[in-house]
Structures are given as structure tokens and as C-alpha cells.
Amino acid sequence: MRVYNTLTKNKETLKPLKDKLIRMYSCGPTVYDYAHLGHFRAYVFVDTLKRVIKYNKYKLKHVMNITDVGHLTSDADTGEDKMEKGAKREGKTVWEIAEFYTKDFFDAMEKLNVEKADVICKATDHIKEMAEMVQKIIDNGYAYVISDGIYFDTSKLKDYGKLAGFNPEELKAGARVEFNEEKKNPTDFALWKFTAKDQKRQMEWENEFYFKPDDLDLSKIVLYERENPNIKFEKTKTKFKLTVKGFPGWHIECSAMSIKYLGKIFDIHTGGIDHIPVHHTNEIAQSEAALKKESVKIWMHNEFVLVDNQKMSKSLQNFYTMHDILSKGFDPLSLRYLFLTAHYRSKLNFTWESLKAAENAYKSLKEKIAIFDLNGKVRKNIIKEYMKKFIDYINDDLNTPYAISLLWSAIKDDKLNDKEKYEIAIEFDKVFGLKLKDVRKQIPNDIIELAEKRLKARKQKKWKEADELREKINQLGYIIQDTEDGYKIFKA
Ligand code: AMP
Ligand code: ZN
């Protein structure tokens, strides 16, 4: 199995570092608002990757975090905490916001048939681990203090920016991020932020950090302490102690939690390409500064979902959520099908027409599978040829578009009998996750009853009632399709 490693810019053979077990970490969502199709693509990609890894008979341990503190509205460590902003917007506590959107996220994941990670870890449950890691980074000489936080000195790492292929000279010119005058280098980033003197935060913690006397500019620290009641400074015999009220920077959570659950070195780290220049670059810096060696072997990144050729994002307000997909009557698995038809490293421009086309293809696939005659004999050698091609495709950096079109070739292949086509579809579906097996399950009586009620309502032109019944049927996991004289029902 070969996968593309952003770090080396090469496709590499995936070999577990230890004991046939692949250890993998995925950056999870920031739970301050509804997740959108861009996020869904990121996690369907992760799910497909997991399925291919398992298809290759490796064991897998997958860890995903939930960001519920510290992600600021600007990647340059300025702006408001997204979580606090979400809480203000809705007049709720940050904890309520986190709980609500985390649940909504996992509901959407379930609809997309995305399997849960083995470990799901919240940033706010790991404040202690993050603070300990920051202390390690301080002890190893990579951190300094300015008025609003403890920062990482990126000039101390000789290969800072290697993931993104930065040119250090260009960076010095400050081309990439807005420059906070107090920082030593434009790329330096916050490890820990102090609550500002006039700021009211719902999420803040008191932590102690210890510095060697040479690491702090005493005259400045005394000034910060005078200015901000959330900073307290004490001198002990050998160390300087800073007691601060504040919160962790965004990047430290992923470094701390990945190491906690996967060990000091692990196989794969995933995320969207927007994480390459800042979040993942800084994660690498932190982990390597704390551990003094490389922590992640392979970095994998999915490309964006676009709308009108711009990144789908909250900030551009051009996003669609699972609720939009459902209210327009789409099956969430049609979206999964759409994602599979594009390679994860290509941009995907989303339109409702493209989703409609994917839904038509997916439905047509299910309709064919639903009526296959399964009484034929399976000729193993014929199936083998398809299987070989399939494995070549998926093991070539998850070439799902080729694998999907291979499935269609099999479905349309006159040399294959229905039973063979069915076996191929079900085998491929271990990777696709489109629930093709369910197509042949019996439709339960209560669903038929709802469908009959809906048919009656339609005949009486009671459209609202018919729509409500369709929604109910959808919610119960079935799709109803109108035909000239009745309806067809499928398992979603
Ligand atoms: P966030 O909640 O912003 O931390 O994002 C969660 C994950 O979704 C990250 O891996 C992002 O890179 C990814 N992501 C965000 N927007 C998009 C998009 N438009 N297309 C693809 N992936 C995205
Ligand atoms: Zn992360």
C-alpha cells in the first residue's frame, strides 16, 4: 500500500513502525458551529484511508481530537477564541456549545457511515498534558514570554517549516502572517495564551510554568505582571515561576494528545491542506522541540471542497451542512459517493447538480444490486482479475475514482453473472462504505406503512403531509422514490 506523504512529497510504502499496528492521528473539528461539507470530505477521506489500511490486513489505532478551546479566529494567534465567540452568538455557555456541536458532528458522521475513532479526546480534558509539554519545550530552550503569552521561538529549529517547504528568508520578511511586534520572528506562535486584563473568558485555567533565569527578561516580566492581574511572577532559589490564568494555544493539543495516545513516534497524521503551513508545521515544531526527534512518519492531507472555486468555509459563509443535505431530500451516502468519485488530493468544486448526479449514480447502483439474481455460480478466477485491479487502485494512494469506475465496469460486464457482480460490489464496498449490502435487506413493515400513508396523501394532493412522511422515512434510514404508479423504497 502506497500513500502520498506531504513531508517527503512522495508516494511511500506504508509499513507499520511497530507490530503490524498502524498508529494514526486525525485533527478533529473545532466544535463552535455546524460542520460543513469541507469537514465531511476530510473525515470521509480519513474513513476511506482506515478502510484501505484494514483491507490490507493491518491493525489500526486511530485517535481524533475535538478542539473545544484555544482555536482563535485568526491562525496568527490573534482574534477571539472561536468557542467563546460561538457561545456569545448563541447566549449559551462554551461547554453547552461544545456539547451541542460535538453531538451534531457525530450525528453527521454516522449518516456518512464514518466509523468512530478508537480514541476521541477533547482538548479541555488534557490541559495538564498540554501544560507539561509546554514546560518541556521551555526546559529545552525553545520558548519565550511576551505580554500576551508564552511563544515558540521558531528560529531555534533549523528545519522549521519543512512540511510546507518554507523558505526561511521569505518568512523573515513577514510575508506569511501578520506580525505581532513583540514576537521575535513572524512565524513564532503561541504555546499558551494569558487571559488579557480586561477579558472575560469562560474557559481559563491557572497554570504554573518554570523558567531558567536566563530565559526571561525580568524588566519586562515585572511590567506584564503590573499590567495584567492574570500574570504572577515569583523568584525561587534557582527558577523563575510564572503563575498564569489563561488557555493553551491551538497547536499544542494535537502534539500533546497524539503523543499521549499513540506514543512518541507514530505512523500517520491527517488533516486538510489548510493545516500544512500553520497548524501542522507548528505541531511538528512543538513535538520535535519537546522530544528532540521526529514524531510523525507520514503526513497526509485532503484537498478542499470549493464553492464557486473558493474554499468552503465558515468565514466566507459559503458552506452547507448536513441539515441542508437532508432538508433538500438527499441521502448523505450520495455525498459519500460524490467524495469517492474525486481523488482526495484534488480540489472538489461542490454544486447541488454534482450531488444530484452522484445521487442518481448511487441510486442506480443500488437498484441494480437490489434485483440481482443470486442463484448463479461464482467463478473465482474471473472475480480475481477485478480484485487485483481494485487492490492496485486503492493501494495507489487511495485511487477511489478509478475503483468506483471499476465497479461500474463489473456491473456492466456481460461476461459476469449477477452473483459475481454482487460479490464484487460487496467486496469493494468494504472500502467504499456505501452500505451496498443493505440494499437487499427486507423493508420493515412500519416503513411500508408510512410509505402507503404517503402514497395516499400524494393521491389526495396533501403535499405537506407527503413531505413530512418522506422526511420521517428518511430519518428512519430509508429512501422513498416516487414512480408513475407508486413508489420504490431503499435502505439509505
Ligand atoms: P476545523 O474545524 O476548521 O479545525 O477543520 C476540521 C478539518 O476539516 C480540518 O482537517 C480542515 O483542514 C478540514 N477542512 C476545513 N474546511 C475544508 C474544506 N473546505 N475542504 C476540505 N477540508 C476542509
Ligand atoms: Zn490538530
> Tens digit of pLDDT for each residue in 236-264?
888 899 999 999 998 999 999 999 999 99
Give the integer Cα–Cα distance in Å for 462 and 473.
Answer: 17
Fold match between domain 2-302 and domain 332-438: no
Domain boundaries, the chain: 2-302, 332-438, 445-491
Give the integer Cα–Cα distance in Å for 339 and 415.
Answer: 29
Return the bridge partners of 269, or none.
25, 299
- Ligand 1: residues with CB < 6 A are 27, 29-30, 38-39, 41-42, 67, 271-272, 274-275, 302, 304-305, 311-313
pLDDT at 78: 74
Q: Count Cα atoms within 13 angstroms, Cβ side, for 376.
A: 14
Q: Which ligand is nearest to the CA of 254?
A: 2
CA of 64 to the centre of ligand 1 (A): 14
Q: What is the CATH number of domain 2-302?
A: 3.40.50.620
Q: Which of 318, 304, 323 is nearest to 111 (CA)?
A: 323
Q: What is the CATH number of domain 332-438?
A: 1.20.120.1910
Task: Output the pTM of the full model.
Answer: 0.88
Q: For residue 466, give the C-alpha cell.
A: 407527503
Give the integer Cα–Cα distance in Å for 449 and 436.
Answer: 24
Q: Are 291 and 255 in contact (CB under 8 A)?
A: no
Give the integer Cα–Cα distance in Å for 111 and 130.
Answer: 33
Q: Which ligand is nearest to the CA of 255?
A: 2
Tell me: pLDDT of 319 over 80. Answer: yes
Give the integer Cα–Cα distance in Å for 277 and 75.
Answer: 10
Please give the DSSP secondary-structure letter assigned to residue 195: P
Which residue's CA lies nearest to atom 17 of ligand 1? 38
314 burial via Cβ count (<10 Å: 0-12, 13-18, 19+): middle
Q: Which of 281, 481, 262 is nearest to 366 (CA)?
A: 481
Give the integer Cα–Cα distance in Å for 181 and 316.
Answer: 28
Q: Return the percentage of the chain with pLDDT > 90, whole number.
A: 79
Position of cell 477521506?
A: 45
316 burial via Cβ count (<10 Å: 0-12, 13-18, 19+): exposed
Give the integer Cα–Cα distance in Å for 214 and 313.
Answer: 43
Q: For residue 117, is it left (φ>0), alpha (ψ between -120 and 50) or beta?
A: beta
What confidence tens digit (pLDDT) does each residue in 201-212 have? 888 999 999 999
pLDDT at 287: 95
Give the integer Cα–Cα distance in Å for 65 and 147.
Answer: 29
pLDDT at 393: 98
CA of 35 to the centre of ligand 1 (A): 9
What confidence tens digit (pLDDT) does each residue in 135-148 have? 999 999 999 999 99
Tell me: pLDDT of 491 over 90. Answer: no
pLDDT at 227: 96
Give the integer Cα–Cα distance in Å for 214 and 153.
Answer: 15
R_g (Cα) of the chain, nearest Å: 26
Type of residue numbered 75: D
